[in-house]
């Protein structure tokens, strides 16, 4: 059980907080949150052993918790000014900074500032309420800020024309866009981005995506292709492996021979050099890898994501697929984030819709794969479910039988979350 304790002066937020938490309960998006009111001037959030404290609109206060700035009076500071402020003070969170055509939200991430922008300001109280609820539900800060903006927009449009969303934000139109080099207004806004703008990447063949084993030797790739696997990835984490380049060459040749979609994890230079089918990159690679060179070489790209903001950021790069992880606990890799679970996965899938193919990854085995598949993802990526199977050929066969779509793909778009049982 988590708890959210509001100061007296924020009690009007309760009318927004309670329906949101009821929604989150219905969708099973996190631990139950108990709400209370105290006389302190600070918002306190407890999640398991962790405690967060927040204050509103006291930028200069000597306070070790988050300082949320969400009230603005003309003349407004510039976006660039606030970008610098947030870079310098990891505790400052800027919400709804007005711009000529909309508003910007800015927060700190590993020594940098990150931002989302939309042509809409939305309603203040719902935005605050969602920020607090999402933090209490243990969403990372970037997702809490992003959800808060989406909810503020949904709330405002529902009250203007009676058609908007008052519940948990789902549809993509409500969500703001991350400010990356690919955003057409990034320069006008004065936002300085570390990434470089890039054209959309080549598409994958979505029909071939269903089962996606991720393995750590070229020998495994060969074995899987012989079994008829049509999409796979070579993931060697030791960059000093003396056989690295040879293995990359080997899997590219094998992929060509079997007309399969074989991705190279991490080593994008080798992938370009040997004309791989595609590369898989993580979020941190987006600022360092030469995306333009990858795109111009005609390689496909898959991007890892672990929540709302990362998904929206990945979308800005128009990748060949978006990976959604990690769905269940995994021992294959140390994860800095928490498992998402099926219900969050279903909402991410709805957010992306059929704009990009999606790949669910992390802790997926055969018994869990059916429910994962029912969320509508395009593909299921697995490591141990294949590499540790007593009979990998039988495991491939069993996944292939499961990961098929009915003839009418629209069936996927029914209220998926309603059909998912608790994990
Ligand atoms: C299909 C797929 N999804 C996610 C990952 C993870 O990539 P990344 O975040 O870059 O982490 P490492 O795999 O490099 O440890 C993946 N490899 N494949
Ligand atoms: C390589 C990898 N990436 C993940 C992510 O969430 O980004 S989870 C993961 C490991 C998946 O292994 P298994 O199927 O054995 O759990
Ligand atoms: Mg990587």
Tens of pLDDT along 133-185? 999 999 999 999 999 999 999 888 777 655 545 689 999 999 999 999 999 99
Q: Is the pLDDT of residue 392 over 50?
A: yes
* Whether residue 363 has its Cβ less than 6 Å from ligand 2: yes
User: What ranges make up the beta strands (E) of 60-210?
Assistant: 66-69, 92-98, 103-109, 112-118, 177-178
Same domain? For 177 and 275 the reply is no
Q: Assess whether pLDDT exceeds 80 at residue 369.
A: yes
Residue 13 lies in domain: 2-189
Q: Are 179 and 214 contained in the same domain?
A: no
**Are 162 and 41 in the same domain?**
yes
18 & 114 share domain: yes
Domain-terminating residue out of 132, 164, 189: 189
Domain count within the chain: 2
- Tens digits of per-residue pLDDT, 110-139? 999 999 999 987 789 999 999 999 999 999
Q: Measuring from atom 9 of ligand 2, which residue has the nearest CA?
A: 362
Query: Do residue 12 and residue 85 come from a single domain?
Result: yes
Residues with CB under 6 A from ligand 1: 212, 214, 233, 235, 265-266, 280-282, 302, 304, 323, 325, 333, 359, 361, 381
Residue 143 located in a structural domain: yes
Whether 375 has a binding-site annotation, put simply, is no
**Same domain for 131 and 216?**
no
For residue 228, being part of any structural domain is answered with yes
Query: Considering every ligand atom, which ligand is closest to the CA of 268?
Result: 3
Q: Which pLDDT value is given to residue 365?
A: 98
324 three-state secondary structure:
strand
What would the pLDDT profile of 313-340 be if each residue is shown by its tens digit? 999 999 999 999 999 999 999 999 999 9
Structure-block tokens of residue 226:
């012989």
Contacts of 407 (CB under 8 A, 6+ apart): none
The pTM of this model reads: 0.94
Q: Considering the domain boundaries, does residue 195 fall inside one?
A: no
CA distances to 206, 209, 309, 313 from 381, rounded to whole Å, are 14, 9, 21, 21
Which contiguous run of DSSP H or E holds residue 322?
strand 321-324
Percent share of the chain, pLDDT over 90? 86
The answer as to whether 53 is a domain residue is yes
Which ligand ends up closest to the CA of 266? Answer: 3
Which ligand 2 atom sits closest to the C-alpha of 337? 6
How many Å apart are CA 287 and CA 297, to the nearest integer?
A: 18
Higher pLDDT, 41 or 342: 342
Q: Give the integer Cα–Cα distance in Å for 321 and 355.
A: 9
**141 shares its domain with 288:** no
CA of 319 to the centre of ligand 1 (A): 14
Q: Are residues 256 and 183 in the same domain?
A: no
Residues 19 and 145 both lie in one domain: yes
Per-residue pLDDT for 294 more than 90? yes
Gap between the Cα atoms of 162 and 185, Å rounded: 30
Beta bridge partners of 3: 34, 46
Ligand number, closest to the Cα atom of 333 = 2
Q: Compute how many other C-beta atoms are within 10 angstroms of the C-beta atom of residue 160.
A: 9
Q: What's residue 406's pLDDT?
A: 76
Pair 406, 257 in one domain: yes
CATH number of the domain bearing residue 312: 3.20.20.70
Ligand 2 atom nearest residue 304's Cα: 7
388 located within any domain: yes
Residues 154 and 121 in one domain: yes
For residue 334, being part of any structural domain is answered with yes
pLDDT for 407 equals 61
User: With contact defined as beta carbons under 8 Å apart, do 396 and 386 qualify?
Assistant: yes
Q: Is residue 200 part of a domain?
A: no
Same domain, 46 and 98: yes
């Amino acid at each position: 059980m988590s708890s959210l304790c509001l100061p007296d002066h924020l009690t009007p937020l309760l009318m927004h907080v309670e329906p949101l938490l009821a929604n989150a309960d219905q969708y099973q998006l996190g631990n139950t949150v108990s709400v209370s009111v105290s006389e302190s001037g600070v918002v306190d959030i407890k999640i398991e052993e962790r405690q967060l404290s927040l204050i509103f609109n006291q930028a200069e206060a000597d306070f070790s918790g988050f300082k949320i700035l969400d009230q603005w009076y003309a003349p407004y500071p510039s976006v660039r000014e606030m970008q610098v402020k947030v870079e310098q003070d990891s505790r400052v969170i800027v919400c709804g900074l007005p711009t000529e055509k909309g508003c910007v939200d800015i927060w700190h991430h590993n020594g940098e500032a990150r931002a989302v922008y939309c042509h809409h300001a939305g309603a203040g109280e719902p935005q605050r309420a969602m920020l607090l609820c999402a933090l209490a539900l243990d969403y990372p800060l970037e997702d809490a800020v992003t959800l808060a903006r989406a909810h503020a927009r949904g709330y405002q449009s529902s009250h203007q024309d009676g058609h908007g969303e008052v519940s948990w934000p789902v549809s993509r139109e409500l969500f703001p866009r991350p400010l990356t080099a690919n955003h057409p207004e990034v320069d006008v806004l004065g936002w300085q981005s570390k990434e470089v703008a890039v054209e959309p990447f080549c598409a994958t063949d979505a029909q071939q995506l269903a089962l996606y084993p991720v393995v750590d030797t070229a020998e495994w790739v060969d074995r899987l292709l012989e079994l008829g696997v049509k999409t796979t990835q070579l993931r060697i984490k030791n960059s000093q492996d003396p056989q690295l380049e040879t293995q990359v060459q080997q899997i590219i040749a094998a992929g060509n021979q079997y007309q399969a979609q074989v991705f190279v994890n991490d080593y994008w230079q080798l992938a370009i050099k040997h004309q791989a089918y595609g590369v898989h990159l993580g979020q941190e690679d987006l600022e360092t890898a030469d995306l333009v060179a990858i795109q111009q070489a005609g390689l496909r790209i898959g991007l890892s994501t672990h929540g709302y903001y990362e998904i929206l950021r990945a979308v800005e790069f128009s990748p060949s697929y978006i990976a959604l992880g990690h769905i269940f606990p995994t021992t294959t890799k140390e994860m800095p984030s928490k498992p998402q679970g099926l219900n969050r996965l279903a909402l991410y899938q709805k957010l992306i819709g059929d704009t990009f193919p999606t790949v669910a990854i992390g802790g997926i085995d055969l018994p869990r794969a059916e429910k994962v598949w029912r969320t509508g993802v395009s593909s299921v990526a697995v490591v141990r479910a294949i590499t540790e199977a007593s009979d990998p050929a039988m495991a491939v066969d069993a996944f292939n039988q499961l990961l098929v779509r009915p003839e009418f793909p629209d069936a996927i778009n029914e209220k998926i979350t309603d059909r998912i049982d608790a994990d």
